[in-house]
Amino acid sequence: MSAENGTNGIPDTPAGSTPPAGPRPEPIRFYGTTWVNHDNGYAARRAGLSVGSLAAAAAACFVLRIAYQGLQIADIGSFVSLLMIVMFAICSALAFRHTWSAFTSRPDPDRQASLRGLLAIGFVGSLLAYFFRTFAEAPGEKLHRAEYDKAREDYEKRTTRRSGNPSKKRRR
């Protein structure tokens, strides 16, 4: 059984041994490569991260409520208060949708950079998307598993084709 090195999720190999042949699975944040075989505390991580993301979302809502109360105390008007509520609701909904879709397909880096501000404002939606996704799988596991299985399949095709002595190959 190999341990993860903690820095990038790639399993450590003991001195003198060769690393496993073929593609390596891409680590998922907070899970490392435990998503491949669902081992080394995978279920506990999912449960802990689910509770943690819900607690973070609740704490964020509490902070937003304090900010709203600060606006009420400042007596800046009902229009600005309403505008703030609508802004956080829309940004949270968009952030939820974007985060949810990022679990099933790789997001475009340019679009990701352009949405950075919106995702920062709607961070509650991102936390809730993470919370709900942990009920089914590690967030992004389905995407990573499909890519890893495809890479393993391609590797197997490449290695099984190489059989026989190439010097005895018939020339055309």
**pLDDT value of position 16:** 54
pLDDT band (50, 70, 90) for residue 1: very low
Is the pTM of the predicted complex or chain greater than 0.85? Answer: no
Residue 41 neighbours by CB distance under 10 Å:
13
Q: Is 66:74 a contact under the CB 8 Å cutoff?
A: no
Q: Is 123:56 a contact under the CB 8 Å cutoff?
A: no
**pLDDT value of position 97:** 95
Measured in whole angstroms, the distance separating CA 21 from the mean position of its chain's CA atoms is 26
Half-sphere exposure of 48 (CA within 13 A, CB side): 7
**pLDDT value of position 58:** 97
Backbone angle region of 32, left / alpha / beta, with phi > 0 → left and psi within -120 to 50 → alpha: left
Q: Is 53:162 a contact under the CB 8 Å cutoff?
A: no
**pLDDT value of position 2:** 46
The better pLDDT of the pair 14, 65 is held by: 65
pLDDT at 4 over 90: no
**pLDDT value of position 121:** 92
- With a CB cutoff of 8 Å and minimum separation 6, the contacts of 18 are none
Residue 161 neighbours by CB distance under 10 Å:
8
pLDDT band (50, 70, 90) for residue 107: confident
Average confidence (pLDDT) over 38-47: 90
**pLDDT value of position 66:** 94
Q: How far apart are CA 158 and CA 156, in angstroms?
A: 5
**pLDDT value of position 124:** 95
Mean pLDDT score across all residues of the chain: 85
